[in-house]
Amino acid sequence: MSLTGTRPVAALIGLGAAAYTAWVLEVVFSTGLNPVETYVSELAAQDQPLGGLFRATDFTAGLLVLAGALLALLHTARTPGARRPWAWTGWGGLALFGAATAADAWLPLSCKPTVDPECAARETAGLVPATHQAHAISSSLAMCGALLGILALTLAARRYGWWPPLARTGPALVVLELAATAWTLTAIALFSAGHGTWALGAGQRLQVLLVALWLGVLAHAVGTQPRPAPRTGPGTAPRTGPRP
């Protein structure tokens, strides 16, 4: 695929990464939520004054990443040399991440369980709206897709000799992302068991920040770094140009 063909993928993924960091606006705006203790999703809760803003940015981020991943899958399908299993798996994971992140915007929390004991009690008893309950599923799918994409495309970059910036920095980001995910999941389990939040918000914010950072590295790598052409047999004209 030509360089011009990689640029739309890079632009979509890069813009999606930027939109996915919109939660840092809580530093500027008064949300009334402690970023160390609260879920990132609580910024977009239905009872939050700025909930609509954060839902809109989540929806935008999800659509952008979904579009970029689908475009990359289309190019991969059309390019024989790019049909590698880790590439298919990675772009598929990012497509799942994008779709589930966009769905999150339409399935917001109805209240803030980490700061409102009544909300937490209703959540435990299953007395919250269906959208509130479904949010846990869409959020889990989004993070599973992100982890799958991060792992598979980082492995593809190193194994196939693609995207040098991602091949160099991807492994460190993978390790940090897995550590942040372990922190977040442990804190959620402790909170669900009634043992406090254990800096749940800090862990989750680190988790999503690392996802956005990795997406930014991927966008830069895809948009600027040529990928080696696939090996060709005798008498076969070589292909040139980067491919996603």
* pLDDT tens digits, 65-118: 999 999 999 988 887 666 688 999 999 999 999 999 999 999 999 999 999 999
Q: Which residues contact 15 (CB under 8 A, 6 or more apart)?
A: 64
Question: What's the average model confidence in pLDDT over 149-159?
Answer: 96
Question: What's the average model confidence in pLDDT over 37-54?
Answer: 95
**Max avg pLDDT among 75-79, 83-87, 134-138, 237-241:** 134-138
Give the model confidence (pLDDT) of 123-133 as tens digits: 989 899 999 99
- Residue 243: band (very low, low, confident or very high) from pLDDT cuts 50, 70, 90: very low
Contact 165, 221 (CB under 8 A): yes
Contact 158, 171 (CB under 8 A): yes
* Structure-block tokens of residue 190: 């402790």
User: What pLDDT shows up at residue 131?
Assistant: 94
Q: Which amino acid is at 47?
A: D
Domain locations along the chain: 3-224
**Residue appearing with tokens 């992302």:** 177
Question: Does 137 have pLDDT greater than 80?
Answer: yes
For all residues of the chain together, what is the average pLDDT?
89
User: What pLDDT shows up at residue 204?
Assistant: 97
CA distance 114 to 119: 8
Question: Does 148 have pLDDT greater than 70?
Answer: yes
User: What pLDDT shows up at residue 79?
Assistant: 72
